[in-house]
Amino acid sequence: MSDGAGKAPTAFGRSDMAIHFNHTILSAHDSKASAIFLAEMLNLPAPRRWGPFQMVVTENGANLDYMDTDGEITPQHYAFLISEAEFDEIFGRIWDRKLSYWADPGRRQLGEINHHDGGRGVYFEDPNGHLLEIITRPYGSGGWNL
């Protein structure tokens, strides 16, 4: 919802601040292998190590930083906006690696993709069980269905 100035109203009126999402940390049993998996699946630059992190950087400059843990991992969810051509490539890699995939985040629609917002979307897991999602249209871009 825009206020006419290009930005939605904030809790304090309208903000002129430029806030960019920068990074998140993903727990992994093997941070290097996990980062390589993500970079290969999405055809992103090879991961770089920084401190305890294996960093994967996306096109908009946001890092996914894998960090090793010996403990139990609570799966998180990460979604990537891609083009239709990239969907074909990434979905091909899902097939090549014989990965399970789902049309829904609840993982009930095994072996299916979705067509939300007039695009394509699918979910698959990284080596730690984190739920990765690729979408060709942003949520709500085809209209809200609530």
Least separation in angstroms between residue 104's CB and Fe ion is: 10
Least separation in angstroms between residue 27's CB and Fe ion is: 19
Least separation in angstroms between residue 77's CB and Fe ion is: 6
Under a CB-based contact definition with an 8 Å cutoff, are residues 127 and 99 in contact? no
Residue among 69 and 83 whose Cβ is closer to Fe ion: 83
Residue among 33 and 78 whose Cβ is closer to Fe ion: 78
Least separation in angstroms between residue 99's CB and Fe ion is: 17
Handedness of CA 124, 128, 129, 132 (dihedral sign): negative
Residue among 53 and 134 whose Cβ is closer to Fe ion: 134
Under a CB-based contact definition with an 8 Å cutoff, are residues 16 and 23 in contact? no
Least separation in angstroms between residue 67's CB and Fe ion is: 22
DSSP states along 7-44: S--BTTB---------EEEEEESSHHHHHHHHHHHHTP
Q: Residue with the closest Cβ to Fe ion?
A: 79
Residue appearing with tokens 């601040």: 17
Residue among 36 and 79 whose Cβ is closer to Fe ion: 79
Largest CA distance in the chain: 50
Residue among 86 and 133 whose Cβ is closer to Fe ion: 133
Instruction: Report the 10 Å Cβ neighbour count for 135.
Output: 20
Which residues here bind Fe ion, judged by CB under 5 A? 79, 133
Spatial separation of the C-alpha atoms in residues 70 and 62, rounded to whole Å: 26
